Structure 1
Amino acid sequence: MASSSEGRPSYHPPRRDQPGRPPRDGNGRLRPTGTPSKWEGGRQCYGVYVYPNSFFRYEGEWKGGKKHGWGKLLFRDGGYYEGEFVDGEITGEGRRHWALTGNTYTGQFVLGEPQGHGIMLYKAGGYYEGELSGGAREGQGRLVDADGQVYCGSFHDNRRHGRGWMLFRNGDEYDGDWVQDRRQGRGVLSCADGSIYEGQWHSDVFSGLGSLAHCSGVVYRGMWVNGHPMAQATRMVILGPEVLDVAQGASLTLTVQLQQADGEVAKGEDGRVLKVSAGVRRVQLPAYSEVIFFKVDEGGRETPIQTPFGFQCLSFPLSSPQSGGLEPRAALGSADADSPPAEADPMRRAEQGTRVFC
């Protein structure tokens, strides 16, 4: 072999190899690798070979007429592989780019397929980092899609399968079992609004025994079918008299029962919101009384929270008058003919149907 000290490829006369077959040790344009041979009894050379079908072009190291060592295999469509070859096969560490999809993989290969550990970058956005087998996601890995959703856990046949955790684009998080890319088995869903479901799943929905603690305060514990409670309450019943006389400042106790459509008590559910109608009755008070009647605090109205059972939760508290409101003595008087007309009496307005949610 000619010296390469001048920086130009050396020349070898053409071998009498069979047409269409690769050279034994780099036939074509050849030059020494510049490093000692790694193999005893053989030589490592650099060569360029264009395959008979003209779709493949190889540039790299050869041994015994096979691609062996480090090289680059180029495809006519613009794709390529660059990395290690063993006995003519793509095996070892390398980088593969697919022109058709625009995806690029960097990592371990076995017989031309991504296998072992590596990183796949997707043209559409996102990436996968983890274990692969036969070119598919298999084993433990991390998948980030184009929308920023993240899955960390087990894969089988390119799908989420086994135990895994996922962060969805809306901020919800799921930690539990997966079957063929669907939540199935047992898992915990922590929603961005604070609601939490813990229990069984089937085909990506609540199914089986589970518990939902909704951000509105509603809690349901029991069986679920296709994402819905199997025996949810349909009405609330106040046990006791319908009208209660309560003195200002005195405590009030209500006994409320959740019932199903058949009248049975809904034992697995609590936290529903009770709507209360509050009214103020005019009474004659002694002149020395300092009673302050409560009023509806309309400035504290909040945005309604939609519950999972089709109604809204709205906080509408009662409070004492603030500074600048009615003076204590303004409530004094009698119920005789000298009383102010109803439209000028704030207590009378309250009697006409102020509704309070708590």
Structure 2
Amino acid sequence: MNNCHGVYVHTNSFFRYEGDWKGGRQHGRGKLLFKDGSYYEGDFVDGEITGEGCRHWAASGNTYQGQFVLGEPHGHGVMQYGAGGRYEGAFSHGAREGHGLLVDQDKQVYEGSFHNHKKHGHGHMLFRNGDKYEGDWVLDQRQGHGVLSCADGSTYEGQWHRGVFSGEGCLTHCSGLVYNGMWINGHPAAQATRIVILGPEVMDVVQGAAITLDVQLQQEDGKVATSENGRVLGISAGVRYVQLPTYSDVSFFQVDAEHQETPIPTPFGFDCITYPLWSPESKSESTGPELRAVEESAGADPPLPSANVEPVPAGDTLRDQEDSPCGPPGGEHVPPRSHAHQRVKQGCAVFSDVLLRPAPPHYHPVLFLHSNQKVGCRSRANLETGCPPGTAQEPAGSRSDGTVRGKVLPTEELSATAAYPGEYVLMIHDATSPPFLGCPLPTAFKHLRVSAKESSQRPHTPQGGPGTPYEKQPEPCERLAH
């Protein structure tokens, strides 16, 4: 018979055909059913599945609607996957091949080139976490050149290998930090690993003098991390914390009970407690009424400006926490826009005009005396400047065994215009938020020794460069124990 419609059950009973026949072969429209529940319905040509049709696989739950050649998806079609997801695009001999759109079971979307089922060639993808990538692919992995735009606002443009940053590339972090250089297996090859404050191990300055700190970000090998720009650094200060067996509850400053704090360890063999620096708002906002009253009664000069560092601009990518998509979870601290913070340029930063504030009202200075020291000057001026020769006398109650005595200075003897002479610590910390690659750099410390002011009769000769007057000071009549 030439053309007819009929039903044919194969001898193995696994196949059953219903449809058109021609010349003894399935030809035209028909439906081929399988015993496991799978089926094909569509065009047949000379006994072969060829043309437009629909194929369903019972085992996997996959369903394909589109073009067939010799029983396989070939040409354009849509595959709906039983496990979730779908593909629409080109097929070759049953495999995804050519241009197509794939939505996987996690709702991630890829549109681009395919080879043998895999993403291969140029394409762009939207990931489940909101990240977007556009660039080259090799066998389902990002490889070649590509641009990644992260949901948190970070972007990377450069070379990839096996799905990670590898080769030359530029990462602009959502905090504003930019690393532009070589990457190896997803890690920056010239990454900063530490903050270094340049200069002598101990910085000697005169009471009330402004300080300049040159700061570098250095790699593990000690080279400057010039590939980095925009890391946010902050500056803070501490004063040496002294505890002696004889005076176990006092230090350089005796602190009111309600303001007690945990001492901060330093690499210099002693701990410190926090100490304020000048800031642009300190005179009007940060300074307490008690200290302002002391300053006014003493006729103090206006404070010098704060650290003259580059402020974080209003339009910078270091955004307020409430409107920052890359802000850390849980309400963690985001560094404020102030002169106490600045961004690094090519691995370097300079904090200039750094000044220690006068001690806050709840810090009461304690003066420690050695038994062999001579004391005769008790005025506030001599406490600041040191004792003129020939005016000393043996302190009452001093010990002959060389132990240290302590005396709490009255409030009126507190310096109102500058920090009290003693040992301080300046700290530079990584305030980048969120931290670059999830790990902030360790804090850097600089040991600062503040000496009493020179007598007004003696010339003042700074030797440490702008803002850093290092000079040899005379021994004061009363000094702190080290």
State TM-score, norm by structure 1.
Answer: 0.68
* Rounded Cα–Cα distance in structure 1 between residues aligned with 2:229 and 2:119: 35
1:191 correspondence with 2:150: yes
CA contact (8 A) 2:235 2:426 kept: no
Q: Counterpart of 1:44?
A: 3
Task: Check 1:301–1:119 CA distance in 2 against 1; reply closer, same or farther (3 A cut).
Answer: closer
C-alpha displacement of 1:188: 0.9
Q: Counterpart of 1:34?
A: none
CA contact (8 A) 2:72 2:93 kept: yes
* Rounded Cα–Cα distance in structure 1 between residues aligned with 2:87 and 2:141: 18
CA contact (8 A) 1:160 1:180 kept: yes
* Rounded Cα–Cα distance in structure 2 between residues aligned with 1:246 and 1:340: 18
CA contact (8 A) 2:179 2:228 kept: yes
Per-residue CA deviation, residues 122-162 of structure 1 (Å, 9 max, x unaligned), is 11111000000111100000111111011111000111111
1:143 correspondence with 2:102: yes
Q: Counterpart of 1:272?
A: 231
SS at match of 1:263: coil
Per-residue CA deviation, residues 150-203 of structure 1 (Å, 9 max, x unaligned), is 111100011111111111111111111111111111111111111111111111
* Rounded Cα–Cα distance in structure 2 between residues aligned with 1:314 and 1:84: 65
C-alpha displacement of 1:255: 4.7
SS at match of 1:72: strand
* Rounded Cα–Cα distance in structure 1 between residues aligned with 2:44 and 2:205: 88
CA contact (8 A) 1:235 1:259 kept: yes
Q: Which runs of 5+ in 2 are unaligned?
A: 238-275, 279-290, 307-318, 340-360, 362-379, 382-408, 433-482
1:210 correspondence with 2:169: yes
Task: Check 1:184–1:136 CA distance in 2 against 1; reply closer, same or farther (3 A cut).
Answer: same
C-alpha displacement of 1:302: 5.4
* Rounded Cα–Cα distance in structure 2 between residues aligned with 1:100 and 1:197: 42
Task: Check 1:280–1:113 CA distance in 2 against 1; reply closer, same or farther (3 A cut).
Answer: closer
Give the alignment of 1:36-185 within 5 angstroms. 43-185=2-144
| Letter matched to residue 148 of structure 1 | K
* Aligned counterpart in structure 2 of residue 315 of structure 1, from 310, 335, 338: 335
Q: RCO greater where, 1 or 2, for CA within 8 Å and sep 6 or more?
A: 2
* Rounded Cα–Cα distance in structure 1 between residues aligned with 2:299 and 2:413: 24
Task: Check 1:301–1:153 CA distance in 2 against 1; reply closer, same or farther (3 A cut).
Answer: closer
CA contact (8 A) 2:321 2:327 kept: no
Q: CA RMSD in A?
A: 4.1
Q: Which runs of 5+ in 1 are unaligned?
A: 1-24, 26-42, 320-330
Identity %: 59
SS at match of 2:295: coil
SS at match of 2:190: coil
* Rounded Cα–Cα distance in structure 2 between residues aligned with 1:57 and 1:125: 29
1:284 correspondence with 2:304: no
Q: Counterpart of 1:21?
A: none
CA contact (8 A) 1:306 1:313 kept: no
* Rounded Cα–Cα distance in structure 1 between residues aligned with 2:204 and 2:91: 70
| Letter matched to residue 181 of structure 1 | D
* Rounded Cα–Cα distance in structure 2 between residues aligned with 1:156 and 1:223: 30
C-alpha displacement of 1:92: 0.4
Which range moves more in the overlay, 278-287 or 185-194? 278-287
C-alpha displacement of 1:270: 1.8
CA contact (8 A) 2:90 2:98 kept: yes
Task: Check 1:290–1:89 CA distance in 2 against 1; reply closer, same or farther (3 A cut).
Answer: farther
* Rounded Cα–Cα distance in structure 1 between residues aligned with 2:412 and 2:16: 102
Task: Check 1:244–1:135 CA distance in 2 against 1; reply closer, same or farther (3 A cut).
Answer: farther
Q: How many residues align?
A: 288
C-alpha displacement of 1:257: 2.5
C-alpha displacement of 1:271: 1.8
CA contact (8 A) 1:89 1:111 kept: yes
Task: Check 1:58–1:273 CA distance in 2 against 1; reply closer, same or farther (3 A cut).
Answer: same
